[in-house]
Chains A and B, each alone.
Chain A
């Protein structure tokens, strides 16, 4: 018979999901490996999105229009304009030419493969462009009749048209337009050209051709236009981007103003002794910049500097605090390592899933610095307080509950219909998971190095928090804690010195010995605070509404703003609304455009134009060809009036017949026309076509009534929507804010239910549930006090408060459940909560200094809410 063994039974090996070190390894090795694998297989191309457009929510006009919106935005988001100005045209033109030369080498194919910063660069006007257009219009002269001409013909007034052609041909000072006369005696292509140029003029601002460049004079200065389209590489805001290069060359030119003045002077010499800039002093040269990439560059440069500054500031202050608390570099190093791992894992996950991560998501993600330190902080504070692994069970539960509540809130953002929020959510959730697992791995004591950190402190505020009574050194270790973690050294009473409080830390340690106030006073203080919040909300209730004003979310620098205003005045940009249209085919889209343009005109809301005004649908081209048949009977007399007495009339008949079915398509358009059409018409990868109808000429934004009329005209059709970018974005953000409000409610219910099930004690659950309510009141009061409306970004902050604000209460609740013998641990918990709040407040406090309004709004909401949650937890603790 086998003798029973006297050896203690082997502890059962926990399942893999209960082994934090394994999970930790899986996450921290698996995620980078997965990213590397995806990179190697070409499944992802990680990059940083610095485009301002990324800030914008999807179009509120439905999925099809959202696709159109995104396509047009993508189409226009890399175009830039530089206006070079000087009091003297010669100087402005010379500077523009030098700028062109400076950038030209960065244009494909002159740059090294893959290094071209610009796809297109144009300064000098192609003299053949109008001739090419004229030839194109001549080739399709019947199909491309302009609308008024077609109307004349259809109204039986072909003779009027013929007389007008003769008046033009014989008129004084009428140059050009007669080059195709022998084939086109009614000058149809000339009429089409004039119609096209009228549209182009009204839509293109007030610049005109001067000495081979587009220029204008305004307020005593000459402006020369240079246009560029950035390449994908050039749009990247890493060092050496296209915008940086433009600024660099412009700075050089400004520095060389004297040389340019010399060039201007040279231009004025020779036959022009009285002109040019002569002996005048070098006039100032100036550059105006316009285009989304300049704003992206400015904001991204600012954001990158801010990220560096704010993260350095936060990390520096946290380092000082931790060094003061721990009096040892090791815990600080461990906390720092945990934070870095957390940030790295968050970034890996975001890059792996999204590929392209917006810089704003990263800036919001900086709050991880404050959040991820919490878990390791709690661990070290308690270990250093000489509690040892005996308190690990409570600590594990406290951290676990905190992690779950925060994680749930971040996960909810994954359903937000806004890419930046989803990126931020994944970044933060994975970062938080990393920090949590790192702390659990530390708790498990799997790493000898970290076990060194868990030696209790004999100095500093932590020693005093352990109290003179020492610690409980007996008893079984909590479930899941390996025996090795309960090392004698970790719990040696001799290591705890009752007099170990450093003079500087003594007041803090003393204050943390117990509740700050008696329960009555605490309750009165909380009630008083609640009343203050309610009073503030009552006072500012009129401003408390869901409102997102795009103008208040992004403000360019005064210089860039002035630059844009100047460009807007010179280029004729307007603030008026336009329409977005969609169709399953190009023909369907153009027909819809024509139909809707007709409806607009009939309703007295004309003045819009689109691609169909330049190249009509095939149906319309066919109708116009047929309308031109009215001219056939007049051809002979017309030729005779123009001095042609031969077979021209017969040839006219033959040519007309030959041009049957000869219709123009956008793909056949010459560059001048194609450039215009491509800005108005786009084919989606899905095969659908979209177009924009724009107001002719710079107009003010329509009033509320006109907008309602325009919207009413669009409403019966499912394929057209009124678009006003700024208002659409604000409306979309309003809608998202309401969605987030719903998510907030859902998160609150989920958390309260989870807490209720976890505690099984409803009064305690209610106490926990009251925390976000109290924090929410504080957030609202802050908004009311500063007169801020409830914006999308404020709401984002509210959700974060719900996820993070509960942590303090959870820690205290877990402590309250702790054995009385571990009472010193409660004081350590208080210190840990104070430190935890300090780190979070530092993180969000730093973000509150951001110049990005969205980041600032999130930070202010979180700061006010978390401060209230902290007070609630501190004053309400038992």
Chain B
């Protein structure tokens, strides 16, 4: 006889995008920007500009430019906006995108935590403890993370499959708008806006409940590969 079917469980498992475990704060560091400044809004007007044949050509050209570098590293400042209480949580750290391996988001201040997103897994690091989660049940989160990686690596096919794409460009600065086609992705993020030139400079994620996360990316570098320490954060293959 088959085992009982846990209908709700499968639903819940499917929505396991929230399973990334919390990581401990790094002792000794004080939360510097407790209440961050309101970040400059980046252009949500891009959603008035769906892809047209001419803009598609430019969009693909931008993607090709981004794809020139298999590895992109830099620093970030993250600003989380909690709309209901109108609070901003600001943190900063280091990021790395490796087309072949995945993404690293290493938050260093005010509280340390590292998230490594591989092709089909997520690894959380905190105070020497690592927690690895496989794709099963985390597929939505992984698709979202792969979308970000696709942006950095200029993977138009992945973007086309999962999103409605919007694009506009002025004076060498482009704006890319992405709206998820899938309801499950929409639960995760309503829309993404990216701004850049030869590299991605800003990223805005808009959540369903009105909250948002804005990333300012700077100090880009393009090494041939990740360092050994960075690779180790993805865990054993």
A200, B12: Cβ atoms closer than 8 Å: yes
Asked whether any CB of chain B lies closer than 8 Å to the CB of A673, the reply is yes
Asked whether any CB of chain A lies closer than 8 Å to the CB of B68, the reply is no
B contact residues around A816 at 8 Å (CB) = none
Which residues B23-43 have CB closer than 8 A to chain A?
Answer: 23-25, 27, 31, 34-35
Which of chain A's residues has its CB closest to B180's CB? Answer: A211
Stretch at the interface among A171-179, A425-433, A756-764, A826-834: A171-179
Cβ 8 A contact of A643, one of B17, B24, B35: B35
B contact residues around A127 at 8 Å (CB) = 183, 187
Asked whether any CB of chain B lies closer than 8 Å to the CB of A566, the reply is no
What's the least CB distance linking B106 to chain A, in Å?
Answer: 8
Asked whether any CB of chain A lies closer than 8 Å to the CB of B225, the reply is no
B15, A160: Cβ atoms closer than 8 Å: no
Asked whether any CB of chain A lies closer than 8 Å to the CB of B232, the reply is no
CA distance A211 to B205 in the complex (A): 20
CA distance A211 to B213 in the complex (A): 23
Cβ 8 A contact of A133, one of B12, B107, B126: B12
B contact residues around A209 at 8 Å (CB) = 11, 14-15, 139-140, 183-184, 187
What's the least CB distance linking A617 to chain B, in Å?
Answer: 21
B87, A167: Cβ atoms closer than 8 Å: no
Q: Knowing A197-B13, A208-B14 touch, does A172 contact B111 (C-beta < 8 A)? A: no
Which residues A622-673 have CB closer than 8 A to chain B?
Answer: 640-644, 671-673
Which of chain A's residues has its CB closest to B145's CB? Answer: A173
Asked whether any CB of chain A lies closer than 8 Å to the CB of B64, the reply is no
Asked whether any CB of chain B lies closer than 8 Å to the CB of A412, the reply is no
Asked whether any CB of chain B lies closer than 8 Å to the CB of A571, the reply is yes
Interface residues on B, range: 35 or more
Binary flags per residue of B72-93, CB closer than 8 Å to A gives 1, else 0: 0000101010101101110101
B82, A176: Cβ atoms closer than 8 Å: no
Cβ 8 A contact of A204, one of B10, B188, B189: B10
A contact residues around B16 at 8 Å (CB) = 197, 200-201, 208
Which residues B98-122 have CB closer than 8 A to chain A?
Answer: 105-107, 110-113, 115, 117
Asked whether any CB of chain B lies closer than 8 Å to the CB of A785, the reply is no
A205, B160: Cβ atoms closer than 8 Å: no
CA distance A237 to B147 in the complex (A): 49
B8, A167: Cβ atoms closer than 8 Å: no
Stretch at the interface among A188-196, A336-344, A710-718, A731-739: A188-196
A contact residues around B12 at 8 Å (CB) = 129-130, 133, 196-197, 200-201, 204, 672, 676
A191, B7: Cβ atoms closer than 8 Å: no
B contact residues around A644 at 8 Å (CB) = 85, 87
A contact residues around B181 at 8 Å (CB) = 211
Asked whether any CB of chain A lies closer than 8 Å to the CB of B3, the reply is yes
CA distance A614 to B31 in the complex (A): 35
Cβ 8 A contact of A197, one of B15, B31, B209: B15
Asked whether any CB of chain B lies closer than 8 Å to the CB of A203, the reply is yes
CA distance A126 to B145 in the complex (A): 24
Which of chain B's residues has its CB closest to A275's CB? Answer: B161
Which of chain A's residues has its CB closest to B2's CB? Answer: A573
Which of chain A's residues has its CB closest to B179's CB? Answer: A271
B contact residues around A160 at 8 Å (CB) = 24
Which of chain A's residues has its CB closest to B105's CB? Answer: A172
CA distance A126 to B139 in the complex (A): 18
B14, A125: Cβ atoms closer than 8 Å: yes
CA distance A692 to B4 in the complex (A): 10
CA distance A178 to B80 in the complex (A): 10
B145, A163: Cβ atoms closer than 8 Å: no
CA distance A587 to B2 in the complex (A): 29
State how many residues of chain A have any CB contact under 8 Å with chain B: 89
Asked whether any CB of chain B lies closer than 8 Å to the CB of A79, the reply is yes
B22, A191: Cβ atoms closer than 8 Å: yes
Asked whether any CB of chain B lies closer than 8 Å to the CB of A72, the reply is yes
Which of chain A's residues has its CB closest to B158's CB? Answer: A275
Cβ 8 A contact of B6, one of A169, A204, A208, A292: A204
What's the least CB distance linking A527 to chain B, in Å?
Answer: 49
What's the least CB distance linking A187 to chain B, in Å?
Answer: 7
A contact residues around B4 at 8 Å (CB) = 72, 75-76, 79, 679-680, 692, 694
Which of chain B's residues has its CB closest to A643's CB? Answer: B35
Which residues A70-125 have CB closer than 8 A to chain B?
Answer: 72-73, 75-76, 79, 81, 122, 125
Asked whether any CB of chain B lies closer than 8 Å to the CB of A198, the reply is yes
A643, B140: Cβ atoms closer than 8 Å: no
CA distance A191 to B110 in the complex (A): 21
A181, B82: Cβ atoms closer than 8 Å: yes
Asked whether any CB of chain A lies closer than 8 Å to the CB of B137, the reply is yes
Cβ 8 A contact of B112, one of A125, A126, A167, A212: A167
A76, B5: Cβ atoms closer than 8 Å: yes
Asked whether any CB of chain B lies closer than 8 Å to the CB of A258, the reply is no
B1, A642: Cβ atoms closer than 8 Å: no
Asked whether any CB of chain B lies closer than 8 Å to the CB of A17, the reply is no
What's the least CB distance linking A774 to chain B, in Å?
Answer: 41
Which of chain B's residues has its CB closest to A130's CB? Answer: B15
B25, A167: Cβ atoms closer than 8 Å: yes
Of listed A129, A181, A201, residue having the most chain B CB within 10 A: A201
Asked whether any CB of chain B lies closer than 8 Å to the CB of A740, the reply is no
Asked whether any CB of chain A lies closer than 8 Å to the CB of B169, the reply is no
Q: Knowing A173-B117, A179-B84 touch, does A210 contact B11 (C-beta < 8 A)? A: no
Cβ 8 A contact of A642, one of B22, B89, B93: B89
CA distance A225 to B14 in the complex (A): 12
CA distance A209 to B14 in the complex (A): 5
B contact residues around A225 at 8 Å (CB) = 10
Which of chain A's residues has its CB closest to B189's CB? Answer: A175
Cβ 8 A contact of A129, one of B5, B11, B85, B189: B11
4 tightest Cβ-Cβ pairs between the two chains A and B: A204-B9, A675-B8, A209-B14, A172-B105
8 contacts between A and B (CB under 8 A): A72-B4, A165-B22, A172-B107, A174-B20, A204-B10, A568-B2, A640-B34, A642-B87
8 further A-B pairs in the complex, CB-CB below 8 A; given A176-B207, A181-B87, A672-B11: A172-B106, A194-B21, A209-B11, A209-B187, A227-B7, A571-B10, A640-B34, A675-B7
Give B residues with C-beta under 8 Å from A: 1-25, 27, 31, 34-35, 51, 76, 78, 80, 82, 84-85, 87-89, 91, 93, 95, 105-107, 110-113, 115, 117, 126, 136-140, 145, 157, 160-161, 164-165, 181-184, 187-189, 205, 207, 209, 211, 213, 215
